[in-house]
Chain A
Amino acid sequence: MAALKRLFLAGALLGLTSALAACGGNNGEDSSGAGSGSLPPVTLKLVVPGAKSANFDEVMAEVNKRLKADLNTQLDLTFIDFADLNQKTNVMLASGENVDLIFDAPWLHLDSMASQGFYEELTDLLNQYGPNVLKTRPQQMWDANKIDGKIYGVPLGSAYTQARSVFIRKDLREKLGLPPVRTYDDLEKYLYAVRDKELGITPLIAGGDDVTYSWVNWRIRDDTGVNIRPTNAFGASLMLYYKGNDGKVYNLFDTKEPQIWNDILDARKLFTDKVMSQDVLTNKSSQSDMQLQNKVAATPEMAFGIPQAFNDKLKQVVPDGELEAVRLFDLTPGSNLSNYKMDNFICIVKASKHKDRAMMFLDWANKQENYDLLEHGIEGKNWKAVGDRQYDTLGNDGGVVSFQLMLNPALERDWVGTDEETRKYNGFIAKADNFSKDIMTGFTFDPTPVKNEVAQFSTIQAKYYNGLFNGALDPDDYFSKFKAEGEAPLKKIQTELQKQVDAFLAKQK
């Protein structure tokens, strides 16, 4: 039912947003200094995506108890469903509602909201009230996540690239007499063996509706030989891409980049060989569901290791079933590029009357004991600490928030059940120094000058991209059709993007 997310996003467009006379006015800030004793009572309104967890009330009671004692503050936490995030936060901000802290992200509307002046510049507040916020994030992270040189949100994240692997079935692989999968060739052997000997189970499904999960995108990401990456002019599409650190925007129609093209041909072969699911474009259940229901033998997933819950669920269907992760990520330090860009941010709203207190609260949330409470719940009841950097769950109830409010590499604990190998990978991507700096670090594309072309190309791409990049469409036939329709608008976008990149790079020097 992957269509659902899109349905909801649709609402975002239909719903539009509210417009108002510029809502501004930050009347009066509480200027009282730090020191909990002298602070007047304040209730902070915090708006984040997500939903209430099972033991929300209990954990929030504890949070507010501690906040009362430490900062004379109460927290009013409003969750917004992911699907509704865009339209709801838009109208909230635009109507000048009484919100102090709000979640935003580059994939939401961080850049446009910041540039329209909805968020407070945080440098001074951080220096005055946020020592823990600063300390828990390395310098690279702060440097790379500014907008026009200013800090409009606290970056939230604990890694510099996305964890990723292909989940396969360990039990099937052993049954088929295959050695552990180390390379892409091994993986193909496994997939073909599944096709030949395991009837009733589809060897592979990639993400037919999400460009990031398309089989070609998935393979290209781990190909450090070329370091091809999307420009994010329209999502993770590789039609315009960067390659290495030469500062150039490439257009796949022009280059037919051998690496991408070969992967497209490979994907086509997988599809015609019936290794790739014949329903890759239309499948309605999530890939994970398909795999856990024993219908598919391999799926791309954003994790380096198998979460316990996955194996538990699989075992309900196949008692001796077990998943394992095939990681094709290159662990050589420096071979992967990163722009150190975090996916999520927490911002202080300019119209807030309690900006000082909001920052004090953030600082409070970035102390280990409070961080643990917010993320894992009540110690001894919901979880227990294992050493300094690990935790174990007691029951399935977690805390209330994490990546939406305070996630950082310094305080995040590993789950104790994570295997050694997975921990190695997770540890690797959490260290900024393991990556080479992407020359585009800090650059964001402003599509306004070519928005007609972006809109047009998006509809054209929707007809062909997922089909080609998952093998469902014959590249010899459809790539030229794609090119005939899409070449003109894509060229314009490329030119504009290159112009902005050049200007950005010139400024860097």
Chain B
Amino acid sequence: MIRSATPETTARSRRRPFRSEKAAAAGIGLFLIVFALACLFPFWLMVINSFAVAKSLALHGYAVFPSGFTLQSYRFLLQGKQLFLSYGVTASATVLGTAAGLAVTALFAYVLAHPKNRYGGFLSFMTYVPMIFGSGLVGFYLLVVRWLHLKDTLWALVLPYVMNPFYAFIFVSFYRSLPYELNESATVDGANEWVVFFKIIRPISTPVIATIGLFYALQYWNDWWLSLLFIDNSDLYPLQLLLRQLMSQMDLASLNHGNVLTLPPSEGVKLATVCLTIGPIIFVYPFIQKYFVKGLTLGSVKG
């Protein structure tokens, strides 16, 4: 990252033959490899077994290499329009929510962190309190359904999560680590705070914006709670609600329907649903990583 921008210094440091440094490097590599494998393995089981034939799943459970390959589960899920509708709903909510959330929190946190803000402490405290006290659902439902009339609309899936205090505070911690001279010099030039923010602060905040953007996207993508409360119309079901329904049906395996016992959806279908649900979002992170390196360094701004 930072050092990759200066290859000659890297080369220089490499030439220094410290044995302990080499051992440390090996240790670091080993640690990361082991941890990464531990993270990858269960994930592999999940993905590969969504392609496994029913018999393999029944006989061996989650196998590292299942004995038969099939697309049956996926074919089952992709028939009909519900899955596509749900992708549309989830994607829309994610895009809208992430954009709105980033804009609102980035600005809000900038004010919280600003040294000229006399009420920063108070405002921070007031921002923090809802995190501890939760949203108090009783009033929450009334608010959204009766007062804002958002039931069965996409907005019900977006607006309640726009302002996330946790992410605001991460922004704050980042802004605080910026040297104050940056905006000092700009304000002396007569620029107002909006200009300072967009001209100076935003460009050097790329890594944290990418991070929080990712977190917002995850939050919207993974949410089922809002849709559970506020969506009845199945055309507006997001992915996570579909997933939940499927997962809970499987748990009610021996529910007595009249006098007929029914069987839950097959294991393969469950796994395939999990994979389809998380599929798109896990590819966002590798894409965002490039902003971690490209973030301008302070040095160049000051220069």
Provide a sorted-by-A list of 14 A–B residue pairs whose CB atoms are within 8 angstroms: A4-B247, A18-B141, A18-B142, A52-B234, A87-B228, A286-B250, A286-B251, A289-B253, A292-B58, A303-B260, A307-B260, A309-B262, A309-B263, A313-B54
**Interface presence of B1 (CB below 8 A):** no
Instruction: Assess whether B261 is in contact with A407, with CB atoms less than 8 Å apart.
Output: no
Pick from A15, A78, A158, A310: contact of B259, CB below 8 A: A158
Alpha-carbon separation in the docked complex, A415 to B262 (Å): 13
Given known contacts A19-B138, A84-B228, A402-B257, is B262 in contact with A307 (CB within 8 Å)? yes
CB neighbors of A among B213-253 (8 A): 225, 228-229, 232, 234, 244-245, 247-253
**Interface presence of A481 (CB below 8 A):** no
**Interface presence of B17 (CB below 8 A):** no
**Interface presence of A51 (CB below 8 A):** yes
Instruction: Assess whether B251 is in contact with A78, with CB atoms less than 8 Å apart.
Output: no
Rounded to whole Å, the gap between the CB of B26 and the closest CB of chain A is: 39
**Interface presence of B145 (CB below 8 A):** yes
Rounded to whole Å, the gap between the CB of A501 and the closest CB of chain B is: 28
Rounded to whole Å, the gap between the CB of B272 and the closest CB of chain A is: 16
Alpha-carbon separation in the docked complex, A421 to B159 (Å): 59
Given known contacts A288-B254, A303-B256, is B248 in contact with A8 (CB within 8 Å)? yes
Rounded to whole Å, the gap between the CB of B48 and the closest CB of chain A is: 19
Alpha-carbon separation in the docked complex, A293 to B253 (Å): 14
Rounded to whole Å, the gap between the CB of A305 and the closest CB of chain B is: 9
Instruction: Assess whether A1 is in contact with B261, with CB atoms less than 8 Å apart.
Output: no
Q: Which residues does chain A contribute within 8 Å of B245, judged by CB atoms?
A: 51, 81
Given known contacts A302-B261, A316-B54, is B256 in contact with A95 (CB within 8 Å)? no
Interface residues of A (CB under 8 A from B): 1-2, 4-5, 8, 11, 14-20, 51-52, 78-79, 81-84, 87-88, 91, 95, 97, 158-159, 162-163, 286-289, 292-294, 301-304, 307, 309-310, 313, 316-317, 375, 402-403, 407, 412, 415, 426
Q: Which residues does chain B contribute within 8 Å of A316, judged by CB atoms?
A: 54-55, 58
Instruction: Assess whether B141 is in contact with A286, with CB atoms less than 8 Å apart.
Output: no
Given known contacts A51-B245, A317-B58, is B232 in contact with A303 (CB within 8 Å)? no
B44-77 interface mask toward A, CB cutoff 8 Å, 1 = contact, 0 = none?
0000000000110011000000000000000000
Instruction: Assess whether A4 is in contact with B248, with CB atoms less than 8 Å apart.
Output: yes
Q: Which residues does chain B contribute within 8 Å of A307, judged by CB atoms?
A: 260-263
**Interface presence of B3 (CB below 8 A):** no
Alpha-carbon separation in the docked complex, A294 to B61 (Å): 12
Instruction: Assess whether A301 is in contact with B261, with CB atoms less than 8 Å apart.
Output: yes
**Interface presence of B258 (CB below 8 A):** yes
Extra pairs beyond A163-B259, A317-B55 (14, CB < 8 Å):
A8-B244, A8-B248, A15-B137, A17-B141, A18-B138, A82-B249, A91-B145, A95-B141, A158-B258, A288-B261, A289-B264, A317-B58, A317-B59, A375-B258
Q: Which residues does chain B contribute within 8 Å of A19, judged by CB atoms?
A: 138, 142
Pick from B141, B146, B250: contact of A1, CB below 8 A: B250
Q: Residue of A at shortest CB range from B59?
A: A317
Q: Which residues does chain A contribute within 8 Å of B146, judged by CB atoms?
A: 20, 95
Q: Residue of B at shortest CB range from A343?
A: B256
Rounded to whole Å, the gap between the CB of B172 and the closest CB of chain A is: 28
Q: Which residues does chain A contribute within 8 Å of B145, judged by CB atoms?
A: 18, 91, 95, 97
Rounded to whole Å, the gap between the CB of A477 and the closest CB of chain B is: 32
Rounded to whole Å, the gap between the CB of B137 and the closest CB of chain A is: 5
Rounded to whole Å, the gap between the CB of B243 and the closest CB of chain A is: 11
Alpha-carbon separation in the docked complex, A95 to B142 (Å): 7
B254-294 interface mask toward A, CB cutoff 8 Å, 1 = contact, 0 = none?
11111111111000000000000000000000000000000
Alpha-carbon separation in the docked complex, A283 to B102 (Å): 43
Q: Residue of A at shortest CB range from B265?
A: A51
Alpha-carbon separation in the docked complex, A303 to B258 (Å): 10
Q: Residue of B at shortest CB range from A78?
A: B232
Pick from B142, B255, B256: contact of A163, CB below 8 A: B256
Pick from A91, A158, A310: contact of B141, CB below 8 A: A91
Pick from B54, B55, B142: contact of A20, CB below 8 A: B142
Rounded to whole Å, the gap between the CB of A191 and the closest CB of chain B is: 20
Q: Which residues does chain A contribute within 8 Å of B59, judged by CB atoms?
A: 293-294, 317
Please list the 6 inter-chain residue pairs (A to B) with the smallest Cβ-Cβ separation, ordered nearest first.
A18-B141, A83-B248, A4-B251, A286-B253, A317-B58, A293-B58
Given known contacts A18-B142, A19-B138, A95-B146, is B244 in contact with A83 (CB within 8 Å)? yes
Given known contacts A4-B247, A20-B142, A52-B234, is B254 in contact with A402 (CB within 8 Å)? no
Alpha-carbon separation in the docked complex, A372 to B228 (Å): 31
Q: Which residues does chain A contribute within 8 Å of B259, judged by CB atoms?
A: 158-159, 163, 303-304, 412, 426
Rounded to whole Å, the gap between the CB of B273 and the closest CB of chain A is: 13
Instruction: Assess whether B252 is in contact with A402, with CB atoms less than 8 Å apart.
Output: no
Instruction: Assess whether B248 is in contact with A91, with CB atoms less than 8 Å apart.
Output: no
Q: Which residues does chain A contribute within 8 Å of B142, judged by CB atoms?
A: 18-20, 95
Q: Which residues does chain B contribute within 8 Å of A78, judged by CB atoms?
A: 232
Rounded to whole Å, the gap between the CB of B231 and the closest CB of chain A is: 10
Instruction: Assess whether A288 is in contact with B263, with CB atoms less than 8 Å apart.
Output: yes
Instruction: Assess whether B138 is in contact with A16, with CB atoms less than 8 Å apart.
Output: yes
Q: Which residues does chain A contribute within 8 Å of B249, judged by CB atoms?
A: 51, 81-82
Q: Which residues does chain A contribute within 8 Å of B260, judged by CB atoms?
A: 303, 307, 415
Q: Which residues does chain B contribute within 8 Å of A14, judged by CB atoms?
A: 137
Q: Which residues does chain A contribute within 8 Å of B257, judged by CB atoms?
A: 402-403
Rounded to whole Å, the gap between the CB of A52 and the closest CB of chain B is: 7
Alpha-carbon separation in the docked complex, A294 to B253 (Å): 17
Alpha-carbon separation in the docked complex, A307 to B256 (Å): 12
Q: Which residues does chain A contribute within 8 Å of B58, judged by CB atoms?
A: 292-294, 313, 316-317
Rounded to whole Å, the gap between the CB of A494 and the closest CB of chain B is: 30
Instruction: Assess whether A303 is in contact with B261, with CB atoms less than 8 Å apart.
Output: yes
Rounded to whole Å, the gap between the CB of A132 and the closest CB of chain B is: 18
Alpha-carbon separation in the docked complex, A292 to B138 (Å): 43
Rounded to whole Å, the gap between the CB of A41 and the closest CB of chain B is: 21
Alpha-carbon separation in the docked complex, A16 to B228 (Å): 13
> Which of B255, B261, B262 gathers the greatest number of chain A CB atoms within 10 Å?
B261
Rounded to whole Å, the gap between the CB of B196 and the closest CB of chain A is: 42
Q: Which residues does chain B contribute within 8 Å of A16, judged by CB atoms?
A: 137-138
Given known contacts A52-B234, A163-B259, A317-B58, is B252 in contact with A82 (CB within 8 Å)? yes
Q: Which residues does chain B contribute within 8 Å of A20, judged by CB atoms?
A: 142, 146
Q: Which residues does chain A contribute within 8 Å of B261, judged by CB atoms?
A: 288, 301-303, 307, 310
Rounded to whole Å, the gap between the CB of A19 and the closest CB of chain B is: 5
Q: Residue of A at shortest CB range from B53?
A: A316
Q: Which residues does chain A contribute within 8 Å of B262, judged by CB atoms?
A: 307, 309
Rounded to whole Å, the gap between the CB of A284 and the closest CB of chain B is: 10
Given known contacts A16-B138, A81-B245, A316-B54, is B258 in contact with A288 (CB within 8 Å)? no
Alpha-carbon separation in the docked complex, A16 to B225 (Å): 13
Alpha-carbon separation in the docked complex, A402 to B59 (Å): 34
Given known contacts A16-B138, A415-B260, is B254 in contact with A5 (CB within 8 Å)? no
Instruction: Assess whether B141 is in contact with A412, with CB atoms less than 8 Å apart.
Output: no
Q: Which residues does chain B contribute within 8 Å of A162, judged by CB atoms?
A: 256
Alpha-carbon separation in the docked complex, A293 to B259 (Å): 23
